[in-house]
Structure 1
Amino acid sequence: MKRIIVGITGATGAIYGVQILEALRAAGDCETHLVISPWAEKTIVLETEYSPQQVKRMATFCHDYRNQAAPIASGSFGADGMVIAPCSMKTLSGIAHGYADNLIGRAADVMLKERRRLIMAPRETPLNEIHLENMLKLTRAGAVMVPPMPAFYNHPVSLEDIIKHHTSRILDLLGIDNSLTRRWGDSFCY
């Protein structure tokens, strides 16, 4: 069974974190550890039809954002990967500079120091030089940047199609089989 940490921050795009949790639950063989920032709770209410409590129930375990003593704050915990989706520029900056003042930042720091998979879905536009430098710094440290950028070769017909495609790409990076989207090479793409 894979252990996956999911962090949801207050950036717009809370549905990405929700969709990832749903997909990991549907995949089976995944133990999920969720951390939701205080601003993410507000964004979930503003942008989705879910309540923060509903989202928390999607995870196997939910940890308090302020609890630096949670199991996921230690390298000995043995998580297989972590996804931060969406990832605010504040969170990205904190992680890039080793400022782990909350559990999302600390868990991400652990993933980097233990050389485990850290996937970040930064959500901001346009990007300034500081944002780009922080992303480059984290990429060099081993993180994978997966900003929500829609693909059109799969002919999406709804916002849900676009969200599922991005979720599928993240699951691929975690090594989790899924069929959330049609892939390049399927007969419709030629």
Structure 2
Amino acid sequence: MRVVLGISGASGAALGLSVARQLAGLDVETDLVISPAGRRTIALECGDGGFEKLRDCVARLHPAGDVGASIASGSVPVAGMIVAPCSMRSLAAIANGLDDNLLTRAAGVQLKERRRLILLTREAPLTLAHLRNMTSATELGSIILPPVPAYYLGPLSVQEITDQIAARAIDLLGLAPPLARSWGS
């Protein structure tokens, strides 16, 4: 089983790292593409070793500028894609079909192939442009999953919140039995 993970430049790089760790725990082959701003955010938010931890969890790392990479083609079978976090810039490009880098091209491929595309959109407050882009992306087939904590589970740490949100995103791909804790569990 193969999944594409995109990490864009929005705050919340730990979400992408958690998704990568949990997919590795499921023995899922992960293709990773990170925007230049995403690399910067990983360094700022996850420390000096953040990128190396991320790299250790994935099967393949693709340069964001390589629009000819395998994941840019619908002929390459993958189970879907998660963009965690998804910046408003990446959301806008995906919602409007601007396949101008590998992250947005790989997302566009998921949509055209009718595969799951999960976008952990990260911004607050939202402008009307953001909301319209979320609507457009949803109409195209994306699933918008803002990283909102499940407070009813009584999380005790930011890491627990992050892991729960990442698990919820993976669950939406339908790869395995649910990872995320559910209400009443």
The TM-score bracket by the shorter chain reads over 0.9
1:117–1:143 contact (8 Å) kept in structure 2: yes
Higher-Rg member (1/2): 1
How far has the Cα of 1:152 moved from its partner?
Answer: 1.0
Q: Tell me the amino acid that sits aligned with residue 44 of structure 1.
A: I
Equivalent residue number for residue 149 of structure 2:
150
Equivalences for residues 36-185 of structure 1 within 5 A = 36-49=34-47, 50-177=49-176, 181-185=180-184
Aligned positions, number: 184
Identity of aligned residues (%): 43
**TM-score scaled by structure 1?**
0.93
How far has the Cα of 1:157 moved from its partner?
Answer: 0.8
Q: Deviations over 1:74-131 (max 9, x none)?
A: 0001111000000000010011111111000100011101110000001000001000
1:171–1:178 contact (8 Å) kept in structure 2: no
Q: Which runs of 4+ in 1 moved over 4 A?
A: 178-181
Gaps of 5+ in 1: none
User: Mean Cα displacement is larger for which, 130-139 or 47-56?
Assistant: 47-56
Q: 1:178 to 1:21 in 2, by over 3 A?
A: farther
What's the C-alpha RMSD, in Å, of the aligned pairs? Answer: 1.3
How far has the Cα of 1:56 moved from its partner?
Answer: 2.1
Gaps of 5+ in 2: none
**TM-score scaled by structure 2?**
0.95
- Cα separation, 2, equivalents of 1:106 and 1:181: 29
